[in-house]
Protein backbone atom coordinates (compact mmCIF):
# COMPACT_ATOMS: atom_id res chain seq x y z
CA UNK A 1 0.00 0.00 0.00
CA UNK A 2 1.02 3.55 -0.58
CA UNK A 3 1.68 6.05 2.15
CA UNK A 4 -1.44 8.06 1.36
CA UNK A 5 -3.67 4.99 1.57
CA UNK A 6 -2.39 4.28 5.07
CA UNK A 7 -3.01 7.91 6.07
CA UNK A 8 -6.57 7.84 4.77
CA UNK A 9 -7.26 4.53 6.51
CA UNK A 10 -5.98 6.00 9.78
CA UNK A 11 -8.16 9.09 9.28
CA UNK A 12 -11.20 6.92 8.59
CA UNK A 13 -10.57 4.89 11.76
CA UNK A 14 -10.13 8.07 13.79
CA UNK A 15 -13.41 9.53 12.52
CA UNK A 16 -15.26 6.28 13.28
CA UNK A 17 -13.84 6.27 16.81
CA UNK A 18 -14.90 9.90 17.40
CA UNK A 19 -18.38 9.17 16.05
CA UNK A 20 -18.75 6.17 18.38
CA UNK A 21 -17.66 8.28 21.36
CA UNK A 22 -20.19 11.02 20.47
CA UNK A 23 -22.94 8.43 20.11
CA UNK A 24 -22.23 6.93 23.53
CA UNK A 25 -21.93 10.31 25.25
CA UNK A 26 -25.06 11.83 23.70
CA UNK A 27 -27.12 8.67 24.24
CA UNK A 28 -26.41 8.73 27.97
CA UNK A 29 -27.17 12.47 28.08
CA UNK A 30 -30.53 12.00 26.35
CA UNK A 31 -31.69 9.73 29.16
CA UNK A 32 -31.03 12.43 31.78
CA UNK A 33 -32.24 15.60 30.01
CA UNK A 34 -35.99 15.07 30.24
CA UNK A 35 -36.76 15.11 26.52
CA UNK A 36 -39.52 12.58 25.68
CA UNK A 37 -37.46 10.94 22.95
CA UNK A 38 -37.78 7.34 21.84
CA UNK A 39 -34.90 5.51 20.21
CA UNK A 40 -36.26 4.66 16.77
CA UNK A 41 -33.24 2.72 15.58
CA UNK A 42 -29.56 2.60 16.43
CA UNK A 43 -28.32 6.15 16.45
CA UNK A 44 -31.69 7.81 15.75
CA UNK A 45 -33.99 9.36 18.37
CA UNK A 46 -37.53 10.50 17.56
CA UNK A 47 -39.73 13.00 19.39
CA UNK A 48 -43.34 13.15 18.21
CA UNK A 49 -44.88 16.61 18.62
CA UNK A 50 -48.11 18.26 17.44
CA UNK A 51 -45.96 20.18 14.96
CA UNK A 52 -44.43 17.01 13.48
CA UNK A 53 -41.64 14.64 14.29
CA UNK A 54 -38.22 15.81 15.42
CA UNK A 55 -35.36 13.45 14.60
CA UNK A 56 -32.13 13.63 16.62
CA UNK A 57 -28.93 11.95 15.43
CA UNK A 58 -26.53 11.77 18.41
CA UNK A 59 -23.55 10.38 16.47
CA UNK A 60 -23.44 13.40 14.17
CA UNK A 61 -24.69 16.03 16.63
CA UNK A 62 -27.61 17.20 14.52
CA UNK A 63 -31.41 17.14 14.50
CA UNK A 64 -34.07 17.75 11.89
CA UNK A 65 -37.54 19.25 12.13
CA UNK A 66 -39.69 20.07 9.09
CA UNK A 67 -36.73 19.83 6.74
CA UNK A 68 -34.52 22.20 8.74
CA UNK A 69 -31.28 20.71 10.06
CA UNK A 70 -29.71 22.12 13.22
CA UNK A 71 -26.42 21.17 14.85
CA UNK A 72 -25.43 20.67 18.48
CA UNK A 73 -24.94 18.06 21.16
CA UNK A 74 -27.69 16.56 23.31
CA UNK A 75 -27.73 19.55 25.66
CA UNK A 76 -28.19 21.97 22.76
CA UNK A 77 -30.99 19.75 21.41
CA UNK A 78 -32.74 19.72 24.80
CA UNK A 79 -32.44 23.51 25.07
CA UNK A 80 -33.83 23.96 21.53
CA UNK A 81 -36.67 21.53 22.22
CA UNK A 82 -37.69 23.30 25.43
CA UNK A 83 -37.71 26.70 23.66
CA UNK A 84 -40.14 25.53 20.98
CA UNK A 85 -43.80 26.53 21.24
CA UNK A 86 -45.05 22.93 20.98
CA UNK A 87 -43.60 22.13 24.42
CA UNK A 88 -45.59 24.82 26.22
CA UNK A 89 -49.10 24.05 27.55
CA UNK A 90 -51.93 25.66 25.62
Per-residue pLDDT tens for 40-82? 988 899 999 888 999 999 999 999 999 999 999 999 999 999 8
Question: What CA–CA distances, in Å, run from 45 to 13, 24, 29, 59?
Answer: 25, 13, 12, 11
What is the value of pTM for the model shown?
0.80
Given pLDDT bands bounded at 50, 70 and 90, which one contains residue 87?
low
If you average pLDDT over residues 8-22, what whole number do you get? Answer: 95
Cα–Cα dist 16/29, whole Å: 20
Closest to 48 measured CA to CA, from 38, 57, 58: 38
Would you state the pLDDT for residue 54? 94
Amino acid sequence: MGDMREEFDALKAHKAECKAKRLAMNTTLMATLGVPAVEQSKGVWRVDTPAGAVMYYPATNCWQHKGKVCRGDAQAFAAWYKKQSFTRPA
